[in-house]
Structure 1
Amino acid sequence: MASKKTDLAIVNRSFWPQSQVIGEGLLQFAEQTAQHHSVCVITQADGDLATLLTNKGRGKGVQLRACKSYTTSSSGLIKRIAEALFFMFWTFISLVRAKPAKVYVSTNPPVVVPLIVAVYCRLFGARYVYHLQDIHPEAANIVVPISGVLFRLLQAVDNYSLRHADAIITLSEDMKVYIQQRSNTQRPIHLLDNPSFDVKPVPMAQRAKDIVFCGNAGRLQRIPLLMSAIRDYLQQGGKLCFTFAGGGVHAPDVKALANAYEQVDYLGFIPATEAAELVNQHRWALLPIDDEVTKYAFPSKSSGYALSGAGVLAICGEDTSVARWVEQLEVGVVCPADSNALVKCFFSLEERGVESFAVGDEVRERLLIPYFSRKLRDYIFVGTP
């Protein structure tokens, strides 16, 4: 085994401050770990990340290996694939130079970067923890169908990474079961919620606004269905008002609806802390998700919604992990992904009285960023300081 220069490398294309929630969680993870271990972060950034961290008094003792970022979530698929491959090579070179004994890697970007981490660890006798915040190529295949040969190849590659990981982290029981079935891995699989900033819930009676959507208006969020249902609801005399915040490929559709109806407001992209406060002003928060993708992912905005105390209106099938999450935590209602059903649901919300959807202290702690970063440290440094 080659001698190691670094105790831990954290590999994730998105980091603080561009990735405001997960990035903050990983930064806290790095900062806490750096108190007792040498830590290197391998990531991408728009500018001089090291200087920004220093100016903000963050990242003490954390080594940075950051290459320039060229794409966003709205960039074309070919550009994003090219950048993922570029980051894969950057990651391998950075790992060889840093020589970490342990590596944390997530699915950002998916498949290729976890593979390069697995290869590095096999070559240099290191160990890694694989965090699947979504499962690929299945999640990507829902958006852009992948040819059968390439799909099976990507699955085989990812299964290799899963079987050789020291441990695996994912989001839901459905995802855990699927990972086990697909890869036949014998590695331990831990469940860890996506985190959120802390928000002090405003009492429901003090919330002046009706329904909000905060997050990525992407290909898996049923935005066309949602736009159609809201349009029908308003044309039938609906009284509720809707607020949207965030970017994504369907942002122009949301903006067009807002331009057409006074009861719809589109704010564009806003920082995560402002988004949390925005949700806190509304009685209901929209959580639309494609049913098939719930086997391979879980909406990141769910934790922030639950912490805010707003009622979650999940738009999905009843036999999905998202629907079960809403019902088990008692944080809202579930509506089938059907335009007529959704219109009826909107009208029913007009008649509902003041309700409380606040989660208990145990659930609240589990959904916060400090818990997320602490559990990552526990999974990687079990039994060490």
Structure 2
Amino acid sequence: MFKKKYDLAIINRSFWPDNKILGEAKLRLAEEMSRNYRVCVIAQSALNLQQEARDKNRGKGIRFFSSKSRSNSSSHLLLRIADAFVFSPYVFLSLCRARPKHVYVSTNPPVVVPFIAFLYCFIFRAEYTYHLQDIHPEITNIIIPINKLLFGLLRKIDNIAIRNAREIITLSEDMAHFIRLRSKAKIPIHLITNPAFDLGEPATNLEKKSDIVFCGNAGRLQLIPTLVEAIAKFLEQGGNLTFTFVGSGVNADKLRELALKYEQVSYLGYLQPDKASRIVAEHRWALLPLKDEVTKYAFPSKSTSYLIANCRILGICGPDTSLARWITENGHGISVAPEVDQIVTVLWQIQLDEVHVENPNKESEQYTIAQFVNRIVSILKPTNLRGDDF
């Protein structure tokens, strides 16, 4: 009755070819595991993933279960939520069809899909690895306050999924600590930082033509109003550093207005990862602003891309956060409290060349997609993916 058809199922709603960093990484993970195991992928895409993989000579031997996506990152929030709800029952049905021995599931989307993986594994006596790339519902509650009863229910559901996993993967010590504290889980927790986009050549070969860059989501968590005020004050005082902003989000208009007002500021909007990464690599410094509270539940994905691009990092966050410790203890750059006057002071120090960072991208090779895949493979392989039921 419970005979398994596949050794491993990889669940990630956004996938290759649309998601060019984590989606590409999950496809490479599937390809690597398929060398020795029977692997299927459960994802959501506007494309027929099985056909697309065949056309691009990717994913040989992998079975793709792909539900139709009708939204993207620029779609209305309600349409994106609807897509996520459609994906959830599709995941359970696909798992029942594939009957994998082991499931690798991440927080894409969060809470409900990992809980579905738990239900499948409970019913079919399988195991799963849970990769928390951010922690919900807490981080959602910061952006959009959730009804208290619903918040409590989602938290309980996620705690069940965490406690029953074979192991957990997450991004930082602060996130691991919060997971243990909230769920009371006593299972292994592995730390793996999200990968960066592969530039295709060493960043040291690229000329540093500009000063400071921000690349990523200009959302509610990235302290954009504080950053805009600080940059405007610095420029009004006669500062002449150049600033480049790449990305979109709810605060994009503030960045656009700043660029229109000051010639030293450029706002390029959203760019594809390959083009954005090359622009980042042309800058000496990169901005990494994040609300302190958020560092317990997430870690900025652009941090590794900045290192690969050989940028010094200017973190804007409290000194006691995991982000500040990661930047300063590893010699990647400096951090400053999210206060306008303190940011202005640091900008002047950078302009006057009073801040020295010896080797900002040391050990940056550990943040490549290849290393990310190798780390996850090393966790999944000891899970006895092949068993007596084959």
Q: Give TM-score, length-normalised by structure 2.
A: 0.93
1:16 aligned counterpart, secondary structure: coil
Aligned length: 382
Please say which of residues 310-319 and 190-199 is displaced more in the overlay: 190-199
Aligned to 1:305: 306
Written as runs of structure 1 = structure 2, the 5 A alignment for 1:154-173 is: 154-173=154-173
**Residue deviations 1:266-291, cap 9 Å, x none?**
22222222222212110100101111
Alpha-carbon RMSD across the aligned residues, in angstroms, is: 1.8
Written as runs of structure 1 = structure 2, the 5 A alignment for 1:160-239 is: 160-199=160-199, 200-202=202-204, 206-239=207-240
Deviation (angstroms), 1:342: 1.3
Deviation (angstroms), 1:73: 3.5
Aligned to 1:243: 244
Name the CA distance, whole Å, in 1 between partners of 2:80 and 2:332. Answer: 35
Deviation (angstroms), 1:80: 3.2
Whether the 8 Å CA contact 1:171–1:194 is kept in 2: the answer is: yes
Whether the 8 Å CA contact 1:4–1:100 is kept in 2: the answer is: yes
2:204 aligned counterpart, secondary structure: coil
Q: Are 1:61 and 2:74 an aligned pair?
A: no
Deviation (angstroms), 1:307: 2.0
Letter in 2 for 1:201: A
Please say which of residues 303-312 and 115-124 is displaced more in the overlay: 303-312
Whether the 8 Å CA contact 2:9–2:41 is kept in 1: the answer is: yes
Deviation (angstroms), 1:372: 0.8
Aligned to 2:98: 98
Name the CA distance, whole Å, in 1 between partners of 2:259 and 2:72. Answer: 24
Name the CA distance, whole Å, in 2 between partners of 1:347 and 1:364. Answer: 28
Aligned to 2:388: none
Deviation (angstroms), 1:17: 1.8
Deviation (angstroms), 1:359: 3.1
Aligned to 1:272: 273
Aligned to 1:258: 259
Whether the 8 Å CA contact 1:107–1:134 is kept in 2: the answer is: yes
Deviation (angstroms), 1:5: 0.7
Q: Give TM-score, length-normalised by structure 1.
A: 0.94
2:382 aligned counterpart, secondary structure: coil
Letter in 1 for 2:325: R
Q: Which runs of 5+ in 2 are unaligned?
A: 386-390
Q: Which runs of 5+ in 1 are unaligned?
A: none
**Residue deviations 1:122-151, cap 9 Å, x none?**
011111000000000111111111122111
Whether the 8 Å CA contact 2:246–2:270 is kept in 1: the answer is: yes
Aligned to 1:285: 286
Whether the 8 Å CA contact 1:307–1:358 is kept in 2: the answer is: no
Q: Are 1:359 and 2:361 an aligned pair?
A: yes
Aligned to 2:50: 50
Name the CA distance, whole Å, in 1 between partners of 2:309 and 2:316. Answer: 19
**Residue deviations 1:322-357, cap 9 Å, x none?**
000001110111011111211222122101167543
Moved over 6 A (4+): none
Name the CA distance, whole Å, in 2 between partners of 1:51 and 1:383. Answer: 30
Deviation (angstroms), 1:376: 1.4
Name the CA distance, whole Å, in 2 between partners of 1:309 and 1:225. Answer: 26
Whether the 8 Å CA contact 2:15–2:45 is kept in 1: the answer is: yes
Aligned to 1:317: 318
Written as runs of structure 1 = structure 2, the 5 A alignment for 1:15-30 is: 15-30=15-30
Name the CA distance, whole Å, in 1 between partners of 2:302 and 2:34. Answer: 29
Aligned to 1:332: 333
**Residue deviations 1:308-331, cap 9 Å, x none?**
221101010000010000011101
Name the CA distance, whole Å, in 1 between partners of 2:75 and 2:268. Answer: 20
Letter in 1 for 2:10: I
Identity %: 47
